[in-house]
Amino acid sequence: MSRVQVAKTAGFCFGVRRAVDMAEQLARQQQPVYCYGEIIHNTHEIRRLEGLGMRTAHTLDEIPDGAPVLIRAHGVPRTVYETLAQKGCTVSDATCPFVSKIHRIVAKEYAQGRKIIILGSPGHPEVVGIAGWCGHAAVFQSPDQLDAAFSQGIFTADDPLSVVGQTTLNRAVWDISVKILKKRCTNCKIFDTICNATDERQAEARLLAGKSGCMIVIGDKQSSNTKRLYEISKTLCPYVFYIEDATEWKADEITRLGSPTIGITAGASTPAWIIKEVSDMMSEEMKVETGEDFAAMLEESLKSIKNGEKVTGTVIAISPKDVQVDLGTKQTAYIPIEELSDDPSYNVEENIHPGDEIEAVVVRVNDGEGLISLSKKRVDQLKGWEMIEAAKEEHTIVEGIITEENRGGVVASAFGVRVFIPASQTGVPKDDSMSKLVKTKQSFYITEINRQRKRVVGSIRAVLQEARKAAAEKIWETIEVGNEYEGTVKSLTSYGAFVDIGGVDGMIHISELSWGRIKHPSEVVSIGDQVKVYVIGLDRENRKISLGYKREEDNPWNIFTSQYSVGDTAKVKILKFMPFGAFAEIVPGVDGLIHISQIADHRIAKADETLSIGEEVDAKIIDINEEKKKVSLSIRALLTGEDEDEE
C-alpha cells in the first residue's frame, strides 16, 4: 500500500480565496459583473464563476460605462482605476493585500526619485500591475539578467535603486539577486515582498518532494506559483506529475511506479473542488496515513477558534469602524478600532496596512453569524506586562504617554499597560500643576507591580534624579574657574540666586547680579529664567560653586571711560543734593559730583537754588579718578568758558 502525504498548504491562499468570495458575493447581488483580467490563474474556476454571472473583460473597452467591476487578485496599474472612474464604473477591489502593499512601496519610492527594479516574470499580470504604479520599472526574471544590467551600464553603483519581487518569486532566485545587488550597488533599498504563503508552500513542497518517490502537483498551467512548485519538485523527486484537473489523472502510471510514498501539493489558485475530483479518482490503496482522504483534509477548517486564544492573521481591509483579518478559517474576523491600542495617539493609517501580519486575542466567536471578534490591544497588554516586569527586574527606563491627571498623580500608558505615577514621583514641584504632563511622552522607572490587582506604579522623579546625579558628576569632572554655563534660576534668597547649571546648583551673590545697587535678586532675575553664568569660585570639598552673572563688557565705568574723557561735555541728570553740591548721572551706573562751587558763575548757599531733581543739564568733566572711580563735573566752567585749573 502506498503512503500518501498531502501538503498542508495545498489549495487556495487567503488572497485568492478572498477574490473568489468577492466574485461570488457580487454575482449574487447583481449581474453581470465584469472582472478586468482573469480573476485568478485557474481556467476551471473562472468558468465556474462565469456560470454565476461574472464576465471576464480583457480590455477596458469591453466594460460598459457604469458597470460593476471587480479588480483581479493580481492587481492592475493605477491608470485602470482612473479609466474606470471616468467610465462611471463601481469598482470592487480584489487585489491581494500583499500585492497592494507592493503598489504602495513602488509608488512612494518612485515619488522620492528612486529607480524601481521588479524581480519577476515580464508580462505576468501581477508584474504589469506593479509597474503601473510608478513611471518606469525595470523587470528582471533571473539573476543573470540583473547582473548583466550592471555590466552593460544600464545601472551604476551609485544609482538609487529600490527593489521589490513578485509575490510568487522563487526564493532562491530572490536570494541570489539580493547578493548581486548588495555587491553591485551602494545605494539600494531592498523590500522582500515574496508572500509568506508562497515561502511556506515552496518550503513544504521542497521537503515533501525530497522524501517522496512520486509527486503530484495540481494547478493551472498558467499559474506562476504552481509552476514554481512543479520546478522545485522536479529538482528533488524522480517522478513529478503536473495536472490541471481530474481528467489528467494518471492513476495506472503512478501505480506502476510502485512508489511507497506519494507527495501531493496544489497551487494557491487551485480550488478545493478540483483537488476533490482528483482525490475521488484515487484508488483505495492511496489513503492518507490518518485514514482520512485527501478531500476531507482540504475541506476541514484549518483550526477551531476559541475565546481567549491568541491568533495570528493577515490584514485584509480597513474601515473607519474595524480591521478585517484573515485567520485561514471560514469565519470572518474583525478587530474593532477601539481594540487596536490603548494609546490615545495611535494612528491606524500609519500603523496598519492591508497585507500586514497581526497578532490578536479572540474575544468572541459567533458561529451563528460566522464572525470572530478580536482584540489587538489585549495581545499588546500581555506582551506589555512581560516588558513591564522585565523593566522592573532589570531597572531599565520605560517610556510612556501620560494619558490623564487625577488627584493622586498622573496615569501613563506603556506597552499597553496602565502605570500610575504618584504626584510626589512626577518631578513636578508641589505648587505646580501636573496637567502640563498630559499627552507628553515621559521616561520613568517601574517601582511596584501587583499583577493580580493589575496595579503598576512608576516614578519620573527617580529618572530625573539619576540623570541629575550623572550630570552632576560630569560637571564636577570638568568644572574650572572661568567656565561658562547656561543655567536655570531655581530659587531666590535675600542674598542671591541659586542656578542649576546642568545637575549642579551654584549661587550668584546679590553683588554679582548687577553693576548697580539692588535690594533683592528679583530685580534682575526670576525663578525659571534661562541665564548665562560663569564660575568665579569653587569649593570642591564642600561642593559649592560661586557664579558670576554681570559681565565686564556691561560694566558702567568701562562704558563711561570709553565714551568720555576729561574736558568733554556730557548731558547729565540731577539725582540728589548734598550740603557740598549735587550728584548727577552721566551714564547708567556712573554718577559725577558737581561741587557747590561749580554749579553757578556766582556764589550760592545751596544746590537747589539753581538745580532741580531730575533736571538734565550740560556739565563739563573736569576730573576722572580711575583708582576711586569718581568723576568731578562743572556747570560753571561752561558758563564762564574757563578751565577749572585756570581758576
The catalytic residues are 126
Q: Are 587 and 556 in contact (CB under 8 A)?
A: yes
Q: Could you tell me which of 112, 123, 125, 106 has the C-alpha nearest to residue 193?
A: 106
Which residues are within 8 A (CB) of 616 and not within 5 positions of it... i.e. 6 or more apart?
Answer: 571, 572, 573, 574
Rounded distance between C-alpha atoms, residue 314 and residue 353, angstroms? 10
* CA–CA dist 55, 34 (Å, integer): 5
What would you measure as the largest C-alpha separation in the chain, in angstroms?
145
Closest CA to 169 of 185, 150, 192: 192
Q: Which amino acid is at 564?
A: Y
Q: Which amino acid is at 485?
A: Y
Select from 107, 113, 55 the least CA-distant residue to 81.
107
Strands (E), 209-298: 214-218, 240-243, 261-266
Q: How far apart are the first and last CA of the chain?
A: 141
> Which of 316, 223, 313 is CA-nearest to residue 265?
223
Q: Are 11 and 266 in contact (CB under 8 A)?
A: yes
- The type of residue at 240 is V
Could you tell me the CA-to-CA distances from 530 to 10, 26, 491, 507, 533 in Å, in that order?
A: 69, 67, 12, 14, 10
Which class for 348: exposed (0-12), middle (13-18), buried (19 or more C-beta within 10 A)? Answer: middle
The Cα–Cα gap between 636 and 632 comes to 12
Could you give the dihedral angle defined by the CA atoms of residues 248, 254, 255 and 256, in that order, rounded to the nearest 10 degrees? 120
Helices 171-184 & 196-210 angle (0-180, nearest 10) = 120
Residue position matching grid coordinates 539692588:
518
Give 446's strand partners.
458
Q: Distance between alpha carbon 527 and the CA centroid of its chain, in Å?
A: 37
Residue 422: Cβ within 10 Å count: 15
Hey, what's the cell of 72? Answer: 483581479
Handedness of CA 289, 292, 297, 303 (dihedral sign): negative
Neighbours of 536 (CB within 10 A): 16
In angstroms, the CA 364 to CA 424 distance is 42
Cα–Cα distance between 624 and 564 in angstroms, integer? 10
Identify the helix (H) or strand (E) that includes residue 216.
Answer: strand 214-218
Grid cell for residue 524? 534682575
Instruction: Report d(CA 323, CA 530) in Å as an integer.
Output: 49
Strands of 367-416 (E only): list them.
Answer: 371-375, 398-406, 409-414
